[in-house]
Amino acid sequence: MFPTLIFDIESIPDIAGIRRLHDLPDRMTDDEVGLWALSQQRIKNGTEFLPHHLQRVCAISCVLREGVDKLAVWSLGELDDDEPTIIQKFFDVIDKRTPQLISWNGGGFDLPVLMQRGLIVGAVASRFLETGANDRAFNFDHYLNRYKERHLDLMDFMAMYQARANAPLDTMAKLAGFPGKLGMDGSQVWPAFQRGELAGIRAYCETDVMNTYLLFLRFQRMRGELDNTQYDAEIKLVRDKLAVQAGAHWKEYLAAWA
């Protein structure tokens, strides 16, 4: 099987960057800086969603499917790895395997964040940014092409590239009979990070990326890339893998997957 990498990121406000851009006084705590930035964004745009370049990456989780029966789900790096290390590890996986990338809203959020933050922290992403200058196979089908499938943003594709038709991952996963989000949602990542709960954030990100993979399998069956027997075999592979995967979140995930 051609390597397929499903990915998802979690992010928090870039406190150091916000301090620098707005020359905020040192007496302000990180929490105060974050609350100030979110309130300013809410006043400006009616939402607390910060611009992509101010979204500091704190976790990247992946599902890798390749070969006959190889399936892995994990979070990149170690708990104490900084943002530059985590981002570089993501681009290194692409450099090593040149996989098809699968995401849910990756074109609208995850990849712009990874590119902008990657530029800020000095990451190298030569394979990801290849558009044909060094490899003719990338002339038209490259990772930045919205309408090709070297990166397939499943949410964008299923909405026929119409933003008004976008559907939330959690909703689609639950409607399809999959567990959906467990433990937290995106709005709770920053408070969890402040409490030092990075392991919980990574666990949440891993279950989210698994939801994306399961929806991708359903999509592959929908368009005839998998027949019913093959689809059932892929689902069994996922269940078998998660049954021996370390982490309480996987026991909870399987229990919620009726």
CATH code, domain with 53? 3.30.420.10
Render each residue's pLDDT in the chain as its tens digit; 258 residues. Answer: 689 999 999 999 999 999 999 999 999 999 999 999 999 999 999 999 999 999 999 999 999 999 999 999 999 999 999 999 999 999 999 999 999 999 999 999 999 999 999 999 999 999 999 999 999 999 999 999 999 999 999 999 999 999 999 999 999 999 999 999 987 888 899 999 999 999 999 999 999 999 999 999 999 999 999 999 999 999 999 999 999 999 999 999 999 997
Query: Where in the sequence is the domain holding 230, given as residue range(s)?
Result: 4-256
Helix axes 248-256, 228-243, angle to 10 degrees: 140
Could you give the dihedral angle defined by the CA atoms of residues 183, 75, 215 and 112, in that order, rounded to the nearest 10 degrees? 100
Give pLDDT, residue 1: 62
Helices H, strands E: what count in the chain?
10, 5
Type and span of the H or E element at 256 = helix 248-256
Please calculate the CA angle 167-172-174 and round it to the nearest 5 degrees.
145
H or E stretch covering 74: strand 70-75
Residue 205 pLDDT: 97
The predicted pLDDT at position 38 comes to 94
Domains of the chain: total: 1
Question: Measuring CA to CA, how many Å separate 19 from each of 191, 220, 225?
Answer: 19, 45, 49
Rounded to 5°, angle at Cα 156 from 150 and 159: 135
SS3 195: coil
Distance CA 18, CA 11 (A): 14
Task: Read off the amino acid at residue 175.
Answer: L
**Res 186: pLDDT:** 80
